[in-house]
Structure 1
Amino acid sequence: MWCPEGLDEVEAELLGPPEDLKGRDVLELGAGAAQCSRWLTAQGARPVALDLSHRQLQHALRIGVSFPLVCADASVLPFADGSFDLACSAYGALPFVADPRLVLREVRRVLRPGGRFVFSVTHPLRWAFPDEPGPEGLSVSGSYFDRTPYVEQDDEGLAVYVEHHRTLGDRVRDVVTSGFRLVDLVEPEWPDWNTSEWGGWSPLRGHLIPGTAIFVCERD
Structure 2
Amino acid sequence: MSAEELLGTAGVARRTVDAAESERASRLWWDADADDYLAEHGRDIGEADFVWCPEGLREADARLLGDPTGLRVLEVGSGSAPCARWLAAQGAHPVALDLSSAMLRHAAALGTATGLAVPLVQAGAEHLPFADASFDAACSAFGAVPFVAEPERVMREVVRVLRPGGRWVFAVNHPMRWMFSDDPGPDGLTVQQSYFDRTPYVEIDGDGRATYVEHHRTLGDRVRDLVAAGLVLDDLVEPEWPEDRETVWGQWSPLRGRLFPGTAIFVTHKPHP
Structure 2, unmatched stretches of 5+, are 1-50
Query: After the TM superposition, which residues 195-214 of structure 1 pair with which residues of structure 2 at under 5 Å, given as runs?
Result: 195-214=246-265
- CA distance in structure 1 between the aligned counterparts of 2:211 and 2:220, rounded to whole angstroms: 28
Q: CA deviation at 1:158?
A: 1.7
Query: Is 2:62 the partner of 1:12?
Result: yes
Q: Is 1:104 aligned to 2:151, yes or no?
A: no
Aligned pairs, how many?
Answer: 217
% of aligned pairs identical? 66
Whichever residue aligns with residue 205 of structure 1, its letter is R
Displacement of 1:155 in angstroms is: 3.3
Give, in whole Å, the separation in 2 of the partners of 1:66 and 1:195: 32
The equivalent of 2:104 in structure 1 is 57
How far off its partner does 1:21 sit?
Answer: 1.1
Which residue is equivalent to 2:47?
none
2:89 to 33, 39, 42: 42
Q: Report the counterpart of residue 68 of structure 1 in structure 2.
A: 119
Instruction: State the Cα distance separating 1:134 from its structure 2 match.
Output: 1.0
Give the helix-richer structure, 1 or 2. 2
Over the aligned positions, Cα root-mean-square deviation in angstroms equals 0.9
Q: Does 1:22 align with 2:22?
A: no
Q: 1: distance between equivalents of 2:204 and 2:227?
A: 34
**Deviating 4+ runs (over 3 angstroms):** none
- Partners of 1:157 and 1:62 in 2: CA distance: 35
Matches within 5 A, 1:170-185: 170-185=221-236
What does residue 148 of structure 1 align with?
199
Kept after mapping to 1: 8 A contact 2:138/2:168: yes
Range with bigger deviation, 147-156 or 40-49: 147-156
Could you tell me how far 1:157 is from its partner in structure 2?
A: 2.5
**What residue in structure 2 maps to residue 31 of structure 1?**
78
**SS of equivalent residue, structure 2 residue 94:** strand
In 1, are the aligned partners of 2:128 and 2:157 still within 8 Å (CA)?
yes
Matches within 5 A, 1:74-85: 74-85=125-136
Q: Which amino acid aligns with 1:31?
A: S
Give how far 1:193 is off.
2.2
Superposed CA offset, 1:117-169 (max 9, x none): 00000000000011111111111111000001011122332211111000011
Task: Give the match for residue 90 of structure 1.
Answer: 141
Matches for 1:106-125 after TM superposition, within 5 Å? 106-125=157-176
Report the counterpart of residue 2 of structure 1 in structure 2. 52
Where structure 1 has 5 or more consecutive residues not aligned to the other structure, the ranges are none
Q: Deviations over 1:47-94 (max 9, x none)?
A: 000001111101111212522100011111111111000100000111
Cα deviation, residue 176, structure 1? 0.7
Q: Residue 127 of structure 1: which of 178, 199, 207 is its match?
A: 178
Partner Cα distance (2:249, 2:54) in 1: 8
Structure 1 window deviating more from structure 2 (172-181 vs 154-163): it is: 154-163
Alignment partner, residue 166 of structure 1? 217
Q: With structure 2 as the length reference, what TM-score do the two structures score?
A: 0.78
For residues 102 and 209 of structure 2, the distance between their equivalents in structure 1, rounded to whole angstroms, comes to 19
In structure 2, C-alpha distance between the alignment counterparts of 1:199 and 1:83, rounded to whole Å: 35
Q: Kindly provide the CA deviation profile for residues 1-34 of structure 1, in whole angstroms up to 9, marking residues without a partner as x.
A: 1000001111111001xxx211100000000000
